[in-house]
Amino acid sequence: MGDLLLERTLAIIKPDAVKRHLTGEILRQIENTGFTLRGLKMLHLTRVQAEHFYEVHKARPFFGSLCQYMSSGPVVVAMLEGERAIERWRELMGATDPAKAAAGTLRKQFGTDIEQNAVHGSDGPETAARELGFFFSGLELAG
Ligand code: UDP
Ligand code: MG
């Protein structure tokens, strides 16, 4: 048996999914997959906050539209904890483009298009640390 790798990662339920009342269903699938919810809140990002969160993408052609979308309504952010949580949350989300995502993944089930794809997940340990710190305070992260 391999060593246990207990990780934390950031999940976001994006504005399109919150608007369509999918928050509860997505959280249910997160919990059913075995993740522990260690933090959970709803907030409405400003355009400038969305630009900071996605600054790694600022040179990409989709950056302006992405930041407009991510500040178009409330999001739900969650800290997920579990064995290999970073990779396992990416697996449950599915590919960026819902049309290419595997059956059963959240983006396949609930994504509208390559931009409005229902959920976000950190893509590695450094990103997870940065993104958790963006949304959760030191006090919350220490829990
Ligand atoms: N995105 C987009 N067009 C693209 C690629 C990405 O609108 O061609 C959006 C989409 O919402 C995606 C986000 O930008 O989730 C971040 O892109 P990334 O490549 O990091 O994909 P992810 O890590 O979310 O799968
Ligand atoms: Mg990404």
Chain-centre distance for alpha carbon 72: 16
Question: Which of 66, 75, 91 has the most ligand 1 atoms within 8 A of CB, as the residue to mutate?
Answer: 66
In a domain, 134, yes or no: yes
Neighbours of 52 (CB within 10 A): 12
In a domain, 57, yes or no: no
Q: Residue 40 is encoded by which pair of tokens?
A: 């959970």
pLDDT confidence tier of residue 123, bands split at 50, 70 and 90: very high
Q: Which position among 21, 44, 52, 120 bears the catalytic label? A: 120
Amino acid at 3: D
Q: Which residues contact 14 (CB under 8 A, 6 or more apart)?
A: 69, 70, 75, 116, 117, 118, 119, 120
In a domain, 13, yes or no: yes
Q: What is the CATH number of the domain that holds 105?
A: 3.30.70.141
In a domain, 108, yes or no: yes
Report the domain count for the chain: 1
pTM, full prediction:
0.97
In a domain, 53, yes or no: no
In a domain, 71, yes or no: no
120 is catalytic: yes
Q: Residue 129 is encoded by which pair of tokens?
A: 């640390």
In a domain, 66, yes or no: no
**Which residue(s) pair with 66 in the sheet?**
none
In a domain, 54, yes or no: no
Residue whose Cα lies nearest atom 11 of ligand 1: it is 115
The answer on pLDDT for 1 being more than 80 is no
CB-based neighbours (< 5 A) of ligand 2, an ion: 123
Model confidence pLDDT, tens digit, residues 70-120? 999 999 999 999 999 999 999 999 999 999 999 999 999 999 999 999 999
Q: What share of the chain is helix, strand, coil (3-state, %, to 5)?
A: 45, 20, 35
| Backbone region of residue 56 per phi and psi (left: phi > 0; alpha: psi in -120 to 50; beta: other values) | alpha
Domain hosting 9: range is 3-44+77-138
**Are 106 and 91 contacting, i.e. CB atoms less than 8 angstroms apart?**
no
Neighbours of 80 (CB within 10 A): 28
